Amino acid sequence: MFSTITSSQQRQCLSCGHALRGRIDKKFCNDQCRSEHHNRKRQVPDDKARPIARALQRNRHILRHLLGEEEKKVVSREALLDLGFRFRYHTHRHENRRGAEYIFCFEFGYLQLGSERILLLRAH
C-alpha cells in the first residue's frame, strides 16, 4: 500500500534541489520554494516581450477592475485612458454576426460604441 524510497531514488525540491522528506508526492521544500518555482515559470524571458506582457496584464487588470462583478458595463474612453489603459495592446479580436468587432485582453473585452463610449464585457 505505501511505497518507500531508497537512497538511490532520493527526491529533490524542484526549486532549490534539496532532498525532500515526507509525502511521496511532495515537490517542494516549503511554500517559498513553490512560489519561486512558479514565479520563474511565469516570468517572460525575452526583454522585448516583457513590456508587452506588462501592458497586456495592466490592460486586463484595468478591465477587471472597472467591470467588478458585472458582466457588461459602459464606460467612457477617458476613464480607461485615465487608468493607463493602452488600446494598442490586446490578445485577440472577435467579430460577431452583425459585424461588430470586439477586442479582448484575455477574458475581458470591449466594443467601441462611438468615439467616447465603450462597452466592457467578460467572456464566458
Q: Domain ranges in the chain? A: 7-42, 49-122
Sign of the torsion formed by the C-alpha atoms of 8, 13, 14 and 15: negative
Q: Are 43 and 50 in contact (CB under 8 A)?
A: no
Residue 15 burial (CB count, 10 A): 19
Walking along the chain (124 residues) 10 residues at a time, the average pLDDT comes out as: 56 92 91 90 77 94 96 97 97 95 96 96 90
What order do you get walking across the sheet with 117-122 strand by strand? Answer: 72-76, 117-122, 108-112, 101-105, 92-95
Check residue 9 and give its pLDDT: 67
Q: What is the pTM of this model?
A: 0.65
- Residue 99 grid coordinates: 459585424
Residue 87: what residue type? F
What's the confidence (pLDDT) of residue 49? Answer: 85
Q: Give the contacts of 78 (CB within 8 A, at least 6 positions apart).
A: 116
